[in-house]
């Protein structure tokens, strides 16, 4: 299925799902924060990270989750990979205070709990039992499934063979069925069906050209500019000044 990948597509999807204008304005604030934190960041497949965040929030909108969940989807990687330009790592007190003031205590708490959650060290049977019994864990699991669903829905997993795909997805159909069952219980029947359809579409894919396959395993940042053409700030100013003088001379 096609998920929103831009802010405008997300707003349209929210309107179609019945969210009010206040909710759209709240999500707009979270989107602006995502731009600041991930403007130069890309997924391992080459997709702009902000598009993935929008896709995660869009999935949650289609699954009719509360607006706080949508905002958590937009910023779920804030403490993991976001560039706060403060030289620190993780959910520090200053970062949490800033984000809490921006998007509210409920959303920030969801983002914090997502950050400290572990998906690889716990046995899936134990995790699924906890998801079924614990509402807080169920919320974080829902965000994680929306995150994974965006990665699957646009086929990015097909061009990143070195990137680990959790929960046995595309590797073990029995584990996939277990996962779909938990999604059905913890999120909704609609979410489980959409997830299942996405997996079927991926299996039916005939393959993508080898030339677009990425060997990267994780996200990466790109600095603005071209290395081979890069100049110092001082040289850039000289070039601008020279160009300005040339324009004035020609005009005269």
- How many residues does the structure list for the chain? 252
Q: What is the pLDDT of residue 194?
A: 96
243 pLDDT band, cuts 50/70/90, is confident
Separation between Cα atoms, residue 80 and residue 44, nearest integer Å: 15
Q: Which residue has the tokens 């020609």?
A: 250
**Which residues are within 8 A (CB) of 167 and not within 5 positions of it... i.e. 6 or more apart?**
119, 124, 148, 175, 176, 179
pLDDT at 209 exceeding the cut of 90: no
What percent of the chain stands above pLDDT 70?
A: 96
* Averaged confidence pLDDT in the chain: 90
Which whole number is the average pLDDT over 107-113? 98
SS3 for the chain is CCCCCCHHHHHHHHHHHCCCHHHHHHHHHHHHHHHHHHCCEECCCCCEHHHHHHHHHHHHHHCCCCHHHHHHHHCCCHHHHCCCCCCCCCCCHHHHHHHHHHHCHHHHHHHHHHHHCCCCCCCHHHHHHHHHHCHHHHHHHHHHHHHHHHHHHCCHHHHCCCCCCHHHCCCCHHHHHHHHHHHHHHCCHHHHHHHHHHHHHHHHCCCCCHHHCCCCCCCEECCCCCHHHCCCHHHHHHHHHHHHHHHHHHHC
Output the six-digit token pair for 177. 């069925």
Q: What is the mean pLDDT of residues 32-50?
A: 95
Least trusted range by pLDDT, from 69-83, 115-129, 174-188: 115-129
Q: What digits encode the pLDDT tens for the residues 147-164?
A: 999 999 988 888 898 888
Q: What is the pLDDT of residues 42-85, one digit of tens each?
A: 999 999 999 999 999 999 999 999 999 999 999 999 999 999 99
Please compute the mean of the pLDDT values over residues 200-208 and round it to a whole number: 84
Tokens linked to 182: 């938990």
Q: What is the pLDDT of residue 186?
A: 94
Q: What is the pLDDT of residue 70?
A: 98
pLDDT at residue 21 in the model: 98
Position 207 confidence tier, pLDDT thresholds 50, 70, 90: confident
The pairing of beta strand 41-42 with beta strand 220-221: antiparallel
Residues ≥6 apart with Cβ < 8 Å to 82: 37, 38, 75
Give the pLDDT band of residue 238 (cuts 50, 70, 90): confident
Residue 121 confidence (pLDDT): 63
Partnered with residue 220 across adjacent β-strands are: 42
Domains of the chain from N-terminus onward? 7-212 (1.10.3210.10)
> What whole-number distance in Å separates Cα of residue 236 and Cα of residue 131?
55
More confident residue, 126 or 60: 60
């Amino acid at each position: 299925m096609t998920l929103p990948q831009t802010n405008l597509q997300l707003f349209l999807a929210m309107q179609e799902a019945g969210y009010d204008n206040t909710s759209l304005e709240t999500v707009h604030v979270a989107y602006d924060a995502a731009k600041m934190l991930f403007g130069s960041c890309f997924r391992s497949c080459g997709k702009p990270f902000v598009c993935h965040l929008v896709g995660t929030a869009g999935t949650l909108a289609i699954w009719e989750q509360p607006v706080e969940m949508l905002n958590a989807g937009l910023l779920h990687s804030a403490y993991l990979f976001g560039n706060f330009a403060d030289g620190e790592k993780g959910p520090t007190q200053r970062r949490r205070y800033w984000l809490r003031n921006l998007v509210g205590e409920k959303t920030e708490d969801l983002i914090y709990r997502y950050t400290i959650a572990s998906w690889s060290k716990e046995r899936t049977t134990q995790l699924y039992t906890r998801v079924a019994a614990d509402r807080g864990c169920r919320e974080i699991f829902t965000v994680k499934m929306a995150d994974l669903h965006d990665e699957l829905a646009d086929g990015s997993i097909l061009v990143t063979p070195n990137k680990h795909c959790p929960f046995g997805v595309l590797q073990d159909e029995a584990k996939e069925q277990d996962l779909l069952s938990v999604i059905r219980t913890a999120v909704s029947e609609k979410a489980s069906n959409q997830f299942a359809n996405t997996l079927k579409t991926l299996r039916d894919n005939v393959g993508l050209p080898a030339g677009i396959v990425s060997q990267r395993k994780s996200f990466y940042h790109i600095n603005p500019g071209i290395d081979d053409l890069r100049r110092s700030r001082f040289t850039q100013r000289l070039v601008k000044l020279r160009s300005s003088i040339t324009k004035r001379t020609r005009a005269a």
